[in-house]
A and B are shown apart, each in its own frame.
Chain A
Amino acid sequence: MAEASATDNPSGRRNIFQTLEIDTRLLGMVGAFVVVCLMFNILTDGRFLTSRNIFNLTIQTVSVAIMATGMVFVIVTRHIDLSVGSLLATCSAMMAITQTQLLPGMGLDYGNPLIAPVAIIVGLLTGALIGAFHGWLVGYLTIPAFIVTLGGLLVWRNVAWYLTSGQTIGPLDENFQLLGGIGGTMGETGSWIVGLIGVAASCVAIWQARRARISHDFPVKPVWAEVALMVVSAVLILGFVAILNAYEVPGRVLERTFEARGETMPEGYTAGYGVPYSVLLLIAIAVVMTVVARRTRLGRYIFATGGNPDAAELSGINTRLLTVKVFAIMGTLCALAGLVASARLSFHSNDIGTLDELRVIAAAVIGGTALSGGVGTIYGAILGALIMQSLQSGMAMVGVDAPFQNIVVGAVLVLAVLVDIIYRKRTGGS
């Protein structure tokens, strides 16, 4: 106590990253991602960084990224969930059966606007209940999560099989398919509006945080640093929108759309796809999960329990119920991922989500979630999912043989954790 605690930076000098208070680990991940993209871009003679490929990469990442945000909570509380791919399949099967067999049987015909919402609610309930059941087994019956979800991996994969008799179910409802990716995008104007709302929201958030600190007389960043952060976030958001808008809907698809409406397409008419609804869903989930992690008691308890389960228990936190909640969130996100995955394919297939558990865990771990618990970020997990997907599809574009693709992805996972361990040792942080 008597020893004077050193200030955060003994030399008194602060480098630019400290002034901006940017996470250097995040910077490292972004750097790795940029390197991967540039490398593939060179190897594919510029085909990797086209608006079309970026669009595809984005919609391919969504399903795994949604589950990865939930996996962060699971791993932070020192558990693991090996059943997410199978749970996705069960939820997807439930949603497919609901919309193609149950609801039409109850008088809701194909094309009825109620079909998609009811199917989605059934799927979400299935995911949440199964997740909560896992959490109950882990939290209250104290069966290790590894075992519970290893069992779940087999059980739910085959429940899905049993429910559908192994058949592919489709085509799915058209409104349902809107959340699949290319089948549902916002168009150029809508995308710009969403982008501008995003920019405004992030600027307000940055400014609010600053005002809260000032009102308590805490030190704040210089104004130029805050403005720089706002500009960077604005450029990133609007740049992303611009790229997705630049991917133009092919002419023949547009022609067909006009024909369907009984019109002829004007000469020289073009339209961009814009932001897919599935990506919007992922962004919404990312925002909600980040707010839960940082601004709610639930999030604080999740991280406290991961950091020191005994301390959390002694502080009066109900860690058993917390486990149920964490797994229920994971289950709900599996259902949402199943929604996006089956909507993208436009049908439910028996092998949907196979091996997703490994991709999801890898995404969370590459994104800086520590398996020892207590540490992890939502944005990191999403970035991790994006890096994994970039590697996979980049290698496919270059023409790397399938076995080598998986060998590389596996090696990258191990390497990423090694780099993370070295980083933590160097910085001395947790």
Chain B
Amino acid sequence: MVDRSGTPLVEMRDISIAFGGIKAVDHVSLDLYPGEVVGLLGHNGAGKSTLIKCLSGAYQQDDGEVHVNGSKATINNPRDARRYNIETIYQTLALADNLDAASNLFLGREITTPTGFMDDAAMEAETRKIMARLNPNFRKFASPVSALSGGQRQSVAIARAVYFQAKILIMDEPTAALGPQETRMVAELIQELKRQGLGIFLIDHDVHQVKALCDRAAVMKNGALVGVVNVDEVTTDDLLAMIIAGKTPEHLAA
């Protein structure tokens, strides 16, 4: 069980964001504790990704506050988010296809020599170390990531988050493009990161996946939060009902 007595790792309070009059996220509050995986469920356009982008710095909320470790956080861009040890693995992977794994892993945070030039050998060595831990079969260190399979690309994206010691990890449909075996690898990795005390937001379409991997599930519909439930206390049908009908199951509503 996750210990929720301390300060939450992240608290998003009353977040709202609108695009041209359409409320993409409407007064949503959500928190995340160390060692916890919170799943975000909802239809396409329910506002899951938009909400989470306020945390990762890709968008700025119109209203509401984000608190990290109990104190108010100002996140205006991805660089700010990184300062709070928030790392994001995007649905689109956000890798530069023409660069190799090491260049992508260190993009924006390159290791340099004392003379200010990039230390490619050191970066490749670090990449080899972390990949040996995450994906021991990974060999293509010299190829551009466009030559990698979906799973290999995903492992580069995850390595980036892990290497820079993320405390808060945001995963936007990390298994959408993966085969069953690769999906299992990602699932194991999530369990491993959870044991290390990271807090993870997992955005997913698959209720089974969320029930298997997450501690709590937050369901959104039309920009509003339907409810947050412990996954142990609900069935997949309950979750589906929340997604489709936008109603909290009766045995919990009381």
Contact = CB atoms under 8 A, between A and B. Distances in A.
Given A2-B137, A8-B140, A300 B110 contact: yes
B97 A3 contact: no
Nearest to B137: A4
A11 interface: no
Interface in B61-119: 77-79, 82, 88, 90, 92-99, 103-104, 107-110, 112, 116-118
B137 A218 contact: no
A2 B118 contact: no
A1 B110 CA distance: 25
B97 A216 contact: no
Interface in B178-211: 178-179, 181-182, 184-186
Interface centre among B112, B146, B185 (most CB of A within 10 A): B146
A147 interface: no
B124 A216 contact: yes
A307 B137 contact: no
Interface stretch (A314-322, A352-360, A389-397): A314-322
B194 to A, nearest CB: 18
A310 interface: yes
B121 interface: yes
A16 to B, nearest CB: 18
A296 interface: yes
Interface centre among B93, B95, B148 (most CB of A within 10 A): B95
A304 B99 contact: yes
A213 interface: yes
B122 interface: yes
Contact of A1 (B108, B140, B147, B155): B155
B125 interface: yes
A310 to B, nearest CB: 6
A217 B88 CA distance: 31
A369 to B, nearest CB: 12
A255 to B, nearest CB: 50
B97 A212 contact: no
Contacts of B181: 1-3
A176 B126 CA distance: 50
B96 A304 contact: yes
Interface in B197-235: none
Interface in A1-34: 1-8
Given A303-B96, A430-B98, A317 B107 contact: yes
A306 interface: yes
A307 B97 contact: yes
B78 A1 contact: no
Interface size class of A (residues with CB under 8 A): 35 or more
A428 B107 CA distance: 24
A429 interface: yes
A291 B113 CA distance: 14
B178 to A, nearest CB: 8
A364 interface: no
A3 B117 contact: no
Nearest to A21: B142
A139 interface: no
B16 interface: no
B141 to A, nearest CB: 9
Contacts of B95: 308, 311
A215 B185 CA distance: 32
A213 B117 CA distance: 16
B96 A311 contact: yes
Given A1-B155, A2-B137, A295-B118, A311 B98 contact: no
B21 to A, nearest CB: 23
A54 interface: no
Given A1-B155, A7-B139, A216 B96 contact: no
A261 interface: no
B117 A295 contact: yes
Given A8-B143, A430-B144, A307 B117 contact: no
Interface of A: 1-8, 212-213, 215-218, 291, 295-297, 300, 303-308, 310-317, 374-375, 428-430
23 contacts: A1-B137, A2-B137, A2-B151, A2-B181, A2-B184, A3-B137, A5-B138, A5-B148, A7-B139, A8-B140, A8-B143, A215-B121, A216-B124, A216-B125, A218-B121, A300-B118, A303-B98, A308-B97, A310-B94, A311-B94, A316-B79, A375-B98, A429-B146
